[in-house]
């Protein structure tokens, strides 16, 4: 029967805390909403400046003001994938030793002697 190799759990393999994930998502949301406000301000400046191809610039600003909030909400509600679903772990296989460290092989283990005489 084959024994499983001993694999220590490293602290670097631990997932990020819930508070840390929430803070990162909040920062990303505020940044994206800031970009949306910038699109609104740029659109207002463009209307006043009357540059060439005004319809194109206003269309891009309007597209940014519509798509960015939708993406911001999706990304703010998203959490990182679980470990078993990460692509990096699927393609990067760690080499496992046959025997755990500091363990004895079957030949090195002391054997029980069973006394057959009553």
Q: Is the whole model's pTM more than 0.85, yes or no?
A: no
The tens digit of pLDDT for each residue in 50-82 reads 989 999 999 999 999 999 999 999 988 887 766
Which residue, among 2, 5, 3, 1, has the nearest Cα to 95 in the 3D structure? 5
pLDDT at 53: 92
**pLDDT bucket at 36, cuts 50 / 70 / 90:** very high
Write out the two tokens for 18.
Answer: 């819930």
Q: What is the tens place of the pLDDT at every residue in 79-110?
A: 776 666 455 555 555 555 555 555 656 666 66
User: Is residue 116 a contact partner of residue 24, using CB atoms and an 8 Å limit?
Assistant: no
- 8 Å CB contact between 72 and 33: yes
């Amino acid at each position: 029967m084959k024994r499983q190799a001993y694999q220590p759990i490293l602290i670097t393999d631990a997932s990020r805390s819930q508070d840390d994930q929430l803070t990162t998502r909040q920062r990303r949301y505020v940044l994206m909403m800031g970009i949306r406000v910038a699109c609104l301000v740029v659109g207002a400046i463009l209307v006043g400046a009357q540059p060439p191809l005004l319809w194109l610039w206003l269309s891009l600003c309007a597209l940014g003001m519509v798509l960015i909030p939708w993406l911001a909400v999706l990304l703010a509600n998203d959490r990182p994938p679980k470990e078993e679903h990460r692509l990096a772990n699927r393609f990067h296989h760690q080499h496992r030793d046959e025997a755990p460290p500091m363990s004895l092989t079957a030949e090195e283990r002391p054997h029980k002697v069973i006394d057959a005489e009553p």
